[in-house]
Amino acid sequence: MNSNLPPIKVFAGTKSRYMAEEICHDLGIELGKMNILHFADGEFEVSYEESIRGCEVYLVQSTFPNCDNLMELLLMIDAAKRASAKSVIAVIPYFGWARQDRKDKPRVSIAAKLVSDLLVAAGVDRVITMDLHADQIQGFFNVPVDHLYASTVFLPYIKQLNLPDLVIATPDVGGAKRANNYAKYLNVPLVLCHKQRAKANVVAKMTVIGDVKGKNVILIDDMVDTAGTITKAADLMLAEGAKSVRALASHAIMSDPATERIEHCGLVEMIFTNSVPLRRECSKATVLSVAKMFADTIRRVHNNESISSQYLI
C-alpha cells in the first residue's frame, strides 16, 4: 500500500468473516479486531478493539437474511464514523433487498432505496458490491458505488469446462441482458425462458425461446433463492432435447427447499460465488471465490486507481 495514503483497515461482520479473512490474506494485512456484544433481548453493540482514527476503513458484510446482518453493518458504519475514521467503505458482496427496486404494484415499499438511504444516513462514504439484482440501484446512493461482476470468475471457469455445442440461456426474460453479455463474450447462441409467476417464489408456466436440442446449456442468473425457477428451467431444457444443463448464479441464497430441488433436478452442476455462505451441503454445488476480486478492488480504490480494467464484461 502507498505509505503517503491513510492506513487501511478491514473489519468483518459476523456472517461475512470468512470473506474478510480471504480478502485480508490477499491484501497481506491482518483482519481488524472488533467485538459485537449481544444482549439478552436481541440487541447488540459494535465496538472496535483498536484505533481507527484517520484510517480508511473497509467493512465486509453481506446483507442476506436475517435482518441482523444489515443492522450489524449500520452499527459498524456508525461506530467507525464516531471513532474518527477518515473514510468508511462498505464492502457488500451480496446486497439484500435488491429485488424490491421499484413499485410493481400499488402501496408497496421500494426497499432497495430505503436500504441505500439507511447506509448513507449511517455515514458510509463508498459502497463496493457485486451483481446487483438491478443495475439502477447504483443510482439510489448519493455516494460512489463500485459495482463488480461475478463474470470475472465465472467466464474463466466456463472456458475451462471446454464444452462443445455450448448455449447460454436465461431462466427469465429479466436476465436477458446479463445472459446476452456472456453469449457475446463466448460467441455462442442465446436462449431465453419466458416464465409466468402465480405468486412470489412460485412459477406457474415456463416456455423456451430458442433451440437447445443436442446442446450443452449453461443457465445464467444473479441469485438462487428457492431454486424453483432455475430447476424448472433446467428440466425444461432437457425435455427440449438439451445434452446437459449447468447453471451459475452469483448469490447462493438457497432458502428451503432449494437444496432438495437442485439435488433432484436435471442439473449437472450448480455454480455459485462465495458472496453468501452455503446454508447446507449440496453435492451439485461448485463455489468459486470472489475474495481476490474484492481485494484487488480495495487495493485500487485505496491507491486511487481505475477498477474498470478488471471487468471482463
Chain CA centroid to CA 76, Å: 20
The one-letter code for the residue type at 141 is F
Q: Which of 62, 55, 53, 54 is nearest to 91 (CA)?
A: 62
Evaluated on CA atoms 64, 118, 141, 104, the torsion sign reads positive
Active site residue 195: yes
Quickly count helices (H) and strands (E) in the chain.
8, 14
d(CA 194, CA 174): 9
What is the Cα–Cα distance from 255 to 158, expressed in whole angstroms? 26
Closest CA to 164 of 239, 59, 242, 228: 242
Which letter does DSSP use for residue 5 in this model? S
Q: For residue 299, give the amino acid letter.
A: R
The three grid cell numbers given for residue 144, joined into one nine-digit string: 460512489
Task: Check: CB of residue 289 under 8 Å from CB of residue 271.
Answer: no
Active-site choice (195, 199, 213, 215):
195
Catalytic sites, residue numbers: 195
